[in-house]
Amino acid sequence: MATGALLMMLLEVNSVKEICINGEENGISRESLESALEELLSQYSGLKKVLIIPPDYTRCYSYAGIITQILCAKLKGVHVDVMPALGTHMPMSEEEIRLFFGDAVAPEKIIVHRWQTDTIKLGYVPADFCAEISGGLFPEQIDVEVNHRLFDGGYDLILSPGQVVPHEVVGMANYSKNIFVGTGGREMINKSHMLSAICGLEKALGVRDTPARKAYDYAQEHFIDGKIPLVYIQTVTTTEGEDVTLRGLFIGQSRKPFEMAAELSQKLNIFHLNRRAKKVVTYLEPSELKTTWVGNKGVYRTRMIVDDGGELLVLGPGIRAFGENDEMDAMTRKYGYKGTPYILDLYRKGAFEGRLMSAAHLMQGSSEGRFTITYATKPELMTRGEIESVGYNWADYDEITKRYDPFKLKEGWNVMDDGEEIYFVGKPATGLWKYDG
């Protein structure tokens, strides 16, 4: 590309009008959503090639599937590629693609991000910066890697739709995490996850400016801003039953829309309790959550409301593996969810070389002995022996749901027929539950 053309593109990139809508109680209408996306696209003329980077189906409540459908319809005549921000997750199945994107994206047209092979290094987050943001706990350099298509794909516009919601690694999901993890490579994913875990899971959950976020901010500022035509389309949603409501839409290139979205999500997606529960029961929707790697959102998002000595019962009818890929599955089977001291000792001995995300995940998936975690699975998909081998208790899903039926329990407090009191969370991926004591 000629220098003059590049400068003109960067000027256009840096002058994108940001669109922020804080929805009323009834949410943002389809008409308003389409109008906002139309306003975004109207700022670009002569588009020839566009890349959309939505989340995968594990973020099915994000509204990103609908946004992708609308964008594809409005970009008729433009070459549009869709590359889900998989990170280390398994590729979407044809059924998931159909459910999420409707007829807008043919399964064979989906570009699969391969975190182990498809990335290029842009630079690095310096070790002294990582030491500063971690209070000296993680003084390591982090290489910044993203899928090469973002830089060599010849795209006139790159759109990254996704949901801002409390998150166990970065505090509040989306914005640059969509790129540096969703389309990231081994070192960036590994080390940013370990940075977060070593600084403390419960200190990060629901917090906007966490150590991991600061690392992503550094990478965004130094290696993305002004260099590629990337625009973030960030949503805040709420759920009631099977209904998902779009409550906020925040579009732009700067950090400001993310900050506004995070503020709204903290208000709508964090649920505050004035006491803990002796038993918390949570349900993992089987088409959405098939591994403990993603199913442990049922652990992360509810752990702060489980009483000392209590029990967290995770109903996981679709759980059939530990990791989203063979490498992480094997690491979980080898070391298990056996507490931070055990994992940190192994980490210092080099057991997780090149696989720090596994160490981080295993630390975050432990109750640290404060309460017990019971996974209820279907034995034909995940056996008792497998669950117990990684440090969790096990229950037969079909048997235990005769008592704790997720389709009969109501959200929040329930009193069973024999007087047992439990707290039920039906969609742990949609929020964060906190004890305010």
Cα angle: 77, vertex 87, 259; to 5 degrees: 80
pLDDT of residue 354: 86
Which helix (H) or strand (E) segment holds residue 331: the answer is: helix 326-335
Give CA 96 to chain center in angstroms. 17
Which residue do the tokens 């109750």 mark?
367
Amino acid (one-letter) located at 122 = L
Tokens of 410: 């109501």
Q: Is the pLDDT of residue 16 over 90?
A: no
Task: Summarize the confidence of residues 310-331 as an average pLDDT.
Answer: 95
Where is average pLDDT lowest: 6-10, 230-234, 415-419? 6-10
Across-strand partners of 163?
235
pLDDT at 170: 95
Residue type, 372: T
Cβ contact 13:252 at 8 Å: no
Burial of 11 (0-12, 13-18, 19+ CB in 10 A): exposed
Q: What is the pLDDT of residue 88?
A: 86
pTM (two decimals): 0.90
Res. 24 pLDDT band, cuts 50 70 90: low
d(CA 237, CA 61): 7
Which residues, in sequence order, are bridge partners of residue 339? none
At residue 4 the predicted structure's pLDDT band, cuts being 50, 70 and 90, is very low
- Residues forming a β-bridge with 413: 423
pLDDT band for position 150 (50/70/90)? very high
Q: Which two tokens stand for residue 143?
A: 């290489």
**pLDDT at residue number 415:** 97
> Can you give the pLDDT at residue 107?
87
Looking at domain 3-268, which of 3.60.15.10, 3.40.50.11440, 3.20.20.70, 3.30.300.30 is its CATH number? Answer: 3.40.50.11440
Nearest alpha carbon to residue 48 among 16, 73, 81: 81
Is 163 within 8 Å of 63 (Cβ atoms)? yes
Query: Where do the CATH 3.40.50.11440 domains begin and end in the chain?
Result: 3-268
Q: How many Å apart are CA 434 and CA 437, to the nearest integer?
A: 9
* Amino acid occupying residue 149: R
Nearest CA to 179 among 128, 235, 122?
A: 122
Instruction: Decide: 234 and 174 in contact? Cβ < 8 Å.
Output: yes
Radius of gyration of the CA atoms of the chain, in A: 21
> Looking at the predicted structure, is the pLDDT value of residue 13 above 60?
no
Q: What is the pLDDT of residue 12?
A: 40
Q: From residue 173, give the alpha-carbon distance in Å to each of 188, 278, 393.
A: 16, 29, 30
Do the strands 372-377 and 306-315 form a parallel or antiparallel pair, or are they unpaired?
parallel
Options 3.40.1350.10, 2.60.120.200, 3.90.226.30, 3.30.70.580; CATH for 272-435 is: 3.90.226.30
Site of tokens 């503020």 = 263
Q: Which amino acid is at 283?
A: Y
CB burial of residue 372 (10 Å; 0-12, 13-18, 19+): middle
CA distance 196 to 210: 8
In angstroms, how far apart are the furthest CA atoms of the chain? 75
The answer on pLDDT for 342 being more than 60 is yes
Dist. CA 259–CA 15, nearest whole Å? 19
User: Could you give the 3-state DSSP secondary structure of residue 42?
Assistant: coil
Q: How far apart are CA 269 and CA 61, in angstroms?
A: 12
Per-residue pLDDT at 8 exceeds 60: no
Q: Is the pLDDT of residue 262 over 90?
A: yes
Report the b/e string of 388-413 with b at 16+ CB within 10 A.
Answer: eebbbbbbebeebbeebebeebeeee
CB atoms within 10 A of CB 34: 16
For the record, the structure tokens of 380 come out as 């034909």
pLDDT over threshold 90, residue 225: yes
List Cα–Cα distances, 320 to 282, 303, 337, in angstroms: 17, 23, 17
Q: Which of 196, 345, 367, 195 is nearest to 296 (CA)?
A: 367
H/E segment holding residue 127: helix 127-133
Query: Given phi > 0 = left and psi -120 to 50 = alpha, else beta, which region is 175?
Result: left
What is residue 107's DSSP assignment? G
Contact between 393 and 384 under an 8 Å Cβ cutoff? The reply is no
User: What's the chain's average pLDDT?
Assistant: 92
Ranges in the chain annotated CATH 3.90.226.30: 272-435
Taking the C-alpha atoms of residue 241 and residue 430, their distance in angstroms, rounded to an integer, is 12
- Which residue bears the tokens 């008792």? 384
